[in-house]
């Protein structure tokens, strides 16, 4: 079967149709990186990857990283696969999964460069809700009026785990190992290849040196701008679907789903090599 690529929106998203044999090759891994550069988020319907196959593909794209760790009760045989579920029999810290229902990028508060790409397979689709949305922070930057770009360049933002889970957990209930994870970053990320993106997400707490209300209002407005329909797309999961996105140029979030929705996703992550500058 040939690889078929169908653009979802000019700013973000493509559906890629291919069979597993074509997918699991070094040649396709290289093509996938090009497609990622072009479309930011890729969805592969019904690919049906096993954990081992997903890990093998992850390794073809770069170094694998698991900054969250396998959830308690997760599959010990697949240590670098993070199971995303609200099922308390599998995940004893579901509050961090609830945090994924708000726009975010992965790994922004840790001290290592943010992951290059996130890979997600649907093992069990939710009975209701639980779609994943992606928005392009490249497009969000590029479409801003020049005058506004000039105002935003040079601003710096404090990102923290406390801010990331603000909507789901009071600060004193955050696991102490994560409570103080915070990192200052520029609001406008100039990538090594010269492209720029807005670095946003629910972990973006405040703009440094700006009064709190104005700073949070600015961030809220930029989130609305970045998530507008022209810059975003949504995937409704079916069993066996697979997605990959450029974590350095996109935000993502899961639409709400309930504890007993049955939703179970397996995530792997490709390490990033680029400091945010
Ligand atoms: C994630 O936030 O890494 C996963 C998003 C999802 O569960 O749809």
Give pLDDT tens digits for 188-219. Answer: 999 999 999 999 999 999 999 999 999 999 99
Check if the beta carbon of residue 234 is closer than 8 Å to that of residue 145: no
pTM, 2 dp: 0.94
Structure-token pair, residue 139: 């497009």
Q: In the chain, count of helices (H) and strands (E)?
A: 9, 15
Using a 6 Å cutoff on CB, does residue 252 contact ligand 1?
yes
Residue 259 to residues 90, 104, 188, Cα–Cα distance (Å):
11, 21, 36
Check if the beta carbon of residue 136 is closer than 8 Å to that of residue 232: yes
Check if the beta carbon of residue 116 is closer than 8 Å to that of residue 63: no
Query: Which residue among 252, 256, 258, 262 is best mutated to probe the pocket of ligand 1, counting the most ligand atoms within 8 A of its Cβ?
Result: 252
Using a 6 Å cutoff on CB, does residue 144 contact ligand 1?
no
Q: How many whole angstroms separate alpha carbon 49 and alpha carbon 259?
A: 25
Q: What is the pLDDT of residue 77?
A: 64
Which position has the token pair 């404090």?
A: 158
Output 179 or 80, whichever has higher pLDDT: 80
Q: How confident is the model at residue 230 (pLDDT cuts 50, 70, 90)?
A: very high
Q: How many whole angstroms separate alpha carbon 252 and alpha carbon 231?
A: 12
Using a 6 Å cutoff on CB, does residue 132 contact ligand 1?
yes
Would you say residue 85 has pLDDT above 70? yes
CA of 184 relative to ligand 1 center, distance in Å:
23
Check if the beta carbon of residue 118 is closer than 8 Å to that of residue 244: yes
Burial annotation 264-273 (CB, 10 A radius, 16+ → b, else e): bbbbbbbbbe
CA of 188 relative to ligand 1 center, distance in Å:
24
Which position has the token pair 């993070």?
A: 82
Q: CATH class for domain 4-270?
A: alpha beta
List the beta bridge partners of residue 183: 159
Q: Whose CA is nearest to atom 1 of ligand 1?
A: 100
Q: Whose CA is nearest to atom 2 of ligand 1?
A: 100
CA of 130 relative to ligand 1 center, distance in Å:
9
83 φ, ψ to 5°? -90, 125
CA of 56 relative to ligand 1 center, distance in Å:
20
Nearest ligand 1 atom to the CA of 254 is 8
Secondary element (H or E) of residue 219: helix 212-226
Nearest ligand 1 atom to the CA of 267 is 3
CA of 34 relative to ligand 1 center, distance in Å:
23
CA of 3 relative to ligand 1 center, distance in Å:
26
List the beta bridge partners of residue 14: 7, 42
Using a 6 Å cutoff on CB, does residue 254 contact ligand 1?
yes
CA of 254 relative to ligand 1 center, distance in Å:
6
Structure-token pair, residue 49: 């990857």
Q: What is the pLDDT of residue 90?
A: 83
Q: Whose CA is nearest to atom 7 of ligand 1?
A: 254
Q: How many whole angstroms separate alpha carbon 236 and alpha carbon 47?
A: 15
Query: What is the tens place of the pLDDT at every residue in 152-180?
Result: 999 999 999 889 988 888 877 877 766 77
Using a 6 Å cutoff on CB, does residue 84 contact ligand 1?
yes
54 φ, ψ to 5°? -65, -40
């Amino acid at each position: 079967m040939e690889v078929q690529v169908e653009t979802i929106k000019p700013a973000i998203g493509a559906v890629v149709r291919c069979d597993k044999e074509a997918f699991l090759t070094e040649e396709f891994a290289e093509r996938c990186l090009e497609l990622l550069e072009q479309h930011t988020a890729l969805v592969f319907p019904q690919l049906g990857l096993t954990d081992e196959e997903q890990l093998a593909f992850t390794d073809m794209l770069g170094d694998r990283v698991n900054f969250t760790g396998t959830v308690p009760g997760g599959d010990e045989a697949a240590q670098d696969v993070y199971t995303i579920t609200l099922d308390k029999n599998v995940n004893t810290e579901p509050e961090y999964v609830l945090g994924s229902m708000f726009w975010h990028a992965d790994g922004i508060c840790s001290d290592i460069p943010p992951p290059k790409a996130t890979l997600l397979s649907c093992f069990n689709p939710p009975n209701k809700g639980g779609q994943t949305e992606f928005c392009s922070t490249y497009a969000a930057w590029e479409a801003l009026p020049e005058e506004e770009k000039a105002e935003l360049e040079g601003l710096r933002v404090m990102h923290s785990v406390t801010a990331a889970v603000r909507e789901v957990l009071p600060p004193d209930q955050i696991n102490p190992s994560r409570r103080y994870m915070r990192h200052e970053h520029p609001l406008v990320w100039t990538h090594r290849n010269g492209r720029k993106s807005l670095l946003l997400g629910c972990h973006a707490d405040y703009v440094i040196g700006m009064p709190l209300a104005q700073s949070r209002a600015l961030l809220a407005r930029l989130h609305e701008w970045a998530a507008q329909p022209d810059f975003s797309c949504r995937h409704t999961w079916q069993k066996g679907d697979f997605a990959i996105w450029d974590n350095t140029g996109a935000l993502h979030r899961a639409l709400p789903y309930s504890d007993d929705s049955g939703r179970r996703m397996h995530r792997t992550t490709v390490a990033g090599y680029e400091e945010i500058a």
